[in-house]
Amino acid sequence: MKRLLVFLAGLLVSVLVLWLASIGLVVLAGARPDLRRADAIMVLGAAQYNGRPSPVLKARLDHALSLYRRGLGRRLIFTGGVGTGDTLSEGEVARRYALQHHIPDSVILVDRQGATSAESIEAAAALMREHSLVSALMVSDPSHMLRLELLARVSGIEPHRAPTPISPIERDTDARRFYVLRESLLFPITALLAGR
């Protein structure tokens, strides 16, 4: 009985240490942008309201358009499917926003199907292969960077972190804490599934 208790205590401590390490990695990845010239700038979808980007999506798009205008990518990739009760996909709303901001339609690629980050990355990777694109600046919220980087690598994309510096989530302490903790749990699960 004593051995079992010692084993369980050791297991609990190990899990706790791994979780704390995961939290640290999530925070570190979001705090260290890797801005460099890439084939594409990929924006992960977020909520949209009747054709208007939510504040979170708008912040991502504004950051991506700034990177594009700085010459850090020759194509823009917008991801995100149709949410429950919506008629437009997040990717299409992002495309329309870019067009309103004088971005040529010829440089835009859109995934309109992805319901999760994994599905969006997989669909975007297929678009990239179709257009002979290899590297991408990944635009999303800072807490999302670590898992996105892993998903991109698994899908054959050479990823570079481009976290949104003006994310509404980052300005809201409770929201930031929630998403960091969420990603700290999702990242090891994603890593385990990717290794299978």
177 bridge partner residues: none
Q: What angle separates helix 117-130 from helix 145-154, to the nearest 10 degrees?
A: 50
Tokens of 160: 């570079």
Q: Of 63 and 167, which is predicted with more confidence? A: 63
Query: Would you give the DSSP letter of residue 72?
Result: S
Calpha distance 97→160 (Å, rounded): 23
CATH classification of the domain holding 107: 3.40.50.620
Query: Would you give the DSSP letter of residue 97?
Result: H
Q: Is residue 11 part of a domain?
A: no
Q: How many domains does the chain have?
A: 1
What local confidence, expressed as pLDDT, does residue 195 receive?
Answer: 60
Q: Is residue 17 part of a domain?
A: no
This prediction has a pTM of 0.90
List the domain range (segments joined by +) for residue 49.
25-194
Q: Is the pLDDT of residue 69 over 70?
A: yes
Q: Is residue 2 part of a domain?
A: no
Q: Is residue 98 part of a domain?
A: yes
Mean pLDDT of 4-18: 78
Q: Is the pLDDT of residue 115 over 70?
A: yes
Mean pLDDT of 143-168: 95
What Å distances lie between residue 68 and 24, 42, 74, 76, 174, CA to CA?
A: 30, 10, 7, 8, 31
